[in-house]
Structure 1
């Protein structure tokens, strides 16, 4: 069990450091990935930025991802075809969900980043960090986004994930770093003592801490 996300981040950071990455940039998936990524960025002496990505929840079961959408000039959507079909959703419903989540992404961009200049992943070593991996829809969208943006090497780093989900990720990232791959996996939160939902205020405070430097 991890005590909290920052505890998980410190353990994860040591494993990522073993890759001896050259001039990396760390991207967190907010909100839960931010405290984890803060520790990774600090250990690597790397800048911290965000990938704003949102899960597209299945009708009636918002916790089940039928896909995800990531921000950008040409917002990219990843659809989990099996879940989409089984959920009974249609293209119109998927479109409504996409528009709703893109609006939330824009809100978060304004709150978390404001006018702060963004890191450019083009030609860089990119480390994508979240607090865990379950179905993997948001991670897939994030990895696709940084690849499309020209990242030279992509590392996915998470504290915990089921082995079957990791296999798919290995085809999307150059390196996958994980602390735990438990056989019995129901939800990410089962591996944390403290897995509370971060507020916008907590997220902004963590980002300010990261951007303030050592």
Structure 2
């Protein structure tokens, strides 16, 4: 299995691909990371492109009692997606979904204040927006981020990830203007399996990288 050494290396390789595609010559590029792991991938990309680095806070909506299974996701700026197949299959009532969403919305707002402080999010109109994560599994959180970003009418919306399963990539290609992915293994299984080192990322690491970018 050809794996990335860590998120830093994955970001460096993604940056090389993006430069080869011409994004290093774009004057209006904004790089947004999905925290926390996406920040470590996005940091070398922002450095290589000479672009500002910011975060797009997202929250998975977990099935009550089985929170590891996503029934949908929400994103800062109002992005929201639901997995109707999961909801119908498990018979999850609307009241339960509303309770999960209300709880996760509070956490999303808390995290956005924590990461950004009083700094307002940048304007996206007419900009080239890169949404970066350390990989996609179901893609639910990325879909929510895309929905929120698209509402602000960027000139171009790009999803950039090191690894994702082919089916998730096909869904992203229908939503974003461009999808840049280095690996699309059919035997995907989990994002972390494609990294030699895949530790938890702390809030302190995120804040540090945002400060030095």
TM-based fold match above 0.5: yes
Is the Cα contact below 8 Å between 2:34 and 2:57 reproduced in 1?
Answer: yes
Residue of structure 1 in register with 2:172 after alignment: 169
Report the 3-state secondary structure (helix = DSSP H, G, I; strand = E; otherwise coil) of the residue aligned with 2:175.
coil
Match in the other structure for 1:15: 17
| Counterparts of 1:32 and 1:97, CA distance in 2 | 23
> What count of residue pairs does the alignment treat as equivalent?
208
Aligned twin of 2:55: 50
Q: Secondary structure at the match of 2:174?
A: coil
Partners of 2:118 and 2:167 lie apart in 1 by: 39
Q: Distance in 1 between matches of 2:90 and 2:65?
A: 9
Which deviates more from structure 2 when the two are superposed, residues 83-92 or residues 30-39?
83-92
> Aligned partners of 2:201, 2:80: CA distance in 1, in Å?
25
User: What's the C-alpha RMSD, in Å, of the aligned pairs?
Assistant: 1.2
Normalising by the residue count of structure 1, what TM-score does the alignment of the two structures yield?
A: 0.93
**Who is 1:114 aligned against?**
117
Structure 2: runs of 5+ lacking an equivalent: none
Partner of 2:41: 36
Which runs of 4 or more aligned residues in structure 1 lie more than 4 Å from their structure 2 counterparts after TM superposition?
A: none
Contact 1:70 1:142 in 2 (8 A): yes
CA distance in 2, matches of 1:192, 1:63: 21
Unaligned runs of 5+ in 1: none
Q: Is the 8 A contact 2:124 2:153 kept in 1?
A: yes
Cα distance in 2 for residues equivalent to 1:163 and 1:17: 23
Per-residue CA deviation, residues 53-86 of structure 1 (Å, 9 max, x unaligned), is 11101222222211001122xx232101112222
Q: Deviations over 1:107-140 (max 9, x none)?
A: 1112111012422111111110001001011111
